């Protein structure tokens, strides 16, 4: 005799892996003005908190700077020196020192936004939502365009960007649309998506491992033994996610510096 098929809910009893729904948060305050959704949820509060934290670190570190730094001033000066030496001077040169405040703030803000994914009780990477990486990428886009126009002039900048010198004129039919898309569309899009994808992937992996670890450790069977190994591996994943948080902040910042350098002089 053929047994009746189990309901779908019964077939899936047991471990349930978290999905993309962990990136959705309900509104704390629902607000709509002129058809624009200005609601506040946990992600918005986290964004305000990180913006305030970034401002506070720089403000309290440098409001009364000492000749021999210590404490918070020493930590923040180390970050500034790192961005100055390893990004600004290496990529742009001394002419890029005027962009040091922007690039340093960008690095710190992106890093803290990434760090939220491993800090309790937040456990959510701010840059795991597209809006913020997209806005930061657009800021870098507008910055390097404005720099190019101010340094080379409006016509010369777009001429050098879209019509690279030394090419046969016929090739511009194909080359100019490619340069237009790659310079003014692909750059900000890839800048934002690279950060977004890494944060989504890291948060999903951590969530799956910790949920699975909890499930196995609370199981009254042999799975509890494997749960101990999964717990150890999950802790190692946290260390790796910390590394990724810093790496992605560095990549976002150095690519912004590369685009600025390219706008300063056409030969770059």
Cα–Cα distance, 115 to 137 (Å, whole number): 19
- Check residue 10 and give its pLDDT: 43
State pLDDT tens for residues 17-32: 676 677 777 777 777 7
Q: pLDDT at position 30, please?
A: 79
Q: Write down the pLDDT at residue 267.
A: 52
- Taking 50 as the pLDDT cut, the residues of the chain under it are 1-12, 268
Q: How far apart are the C-alpha atoms of 214 and 230, rounded to whole Å?
A: 9
Predicted local confidence at residue 25, as pLDDT: 74
Quick one: pLDDT at residue 265? 78
Where in the chain are the domains?
A: 29-264
**Cα torsion at 134, 137, 142, 146 (round to 10°)?**
180
């Amino acid at each position: 005799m053929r047994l009746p098929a189990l309901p779908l809910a019964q077939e899936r009893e047991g471990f349930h892996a978290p999905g993309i729904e962990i990136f959705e948060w309900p509104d704390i305050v629902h607000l709509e003005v002129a058809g624009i959704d200005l609601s506040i949820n946990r992600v918005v509060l986290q964004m305000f908190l990180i913006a305030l934290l970034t401002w506070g670190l720089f403000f309290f570190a440098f409001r009364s700077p000492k000749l021999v730094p210590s404490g918070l001033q020493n930590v923040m000066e180390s970050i500034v020196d790192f961005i100055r030496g390893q990004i600004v001077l290496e990529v742009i040169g001394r002419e890029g020192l005027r962009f040091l405040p922007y690039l340093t703030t960008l690095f710190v803000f992106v890093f803290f936004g990434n760090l939220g994914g491993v800090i309790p009780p937040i456990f959510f990477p701010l840059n795991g939502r597209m809006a913020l990486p997209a806005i930061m990428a657009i800021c870098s886009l507008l910055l390097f365009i404005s720099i190019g126009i101010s340094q080379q002039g409006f016509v010369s900048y777009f001429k050098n960007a879209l019509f690279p010198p030394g090419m046969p004129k016929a090739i511009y039919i194909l080359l100019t649309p490619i340069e237009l898309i790659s310079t003014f569309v692909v750059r900000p899009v890839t800048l934002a998506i690279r950060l977004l994808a890494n944060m989504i992937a890291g948060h999903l992996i951590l969530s799956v491992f910790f949920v699975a670890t909890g499930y196995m450790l609370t199981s009254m069977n042999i799975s509890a033994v494997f749960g101990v190994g999964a717990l150890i591996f999950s802790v190692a994943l946290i260390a790796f996610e910390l590394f990724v948080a810093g790496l992605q902040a560095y990549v976002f910042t150095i690519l912004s510096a590369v685009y600025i350098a390219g706008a300063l002089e056409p030969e770059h």
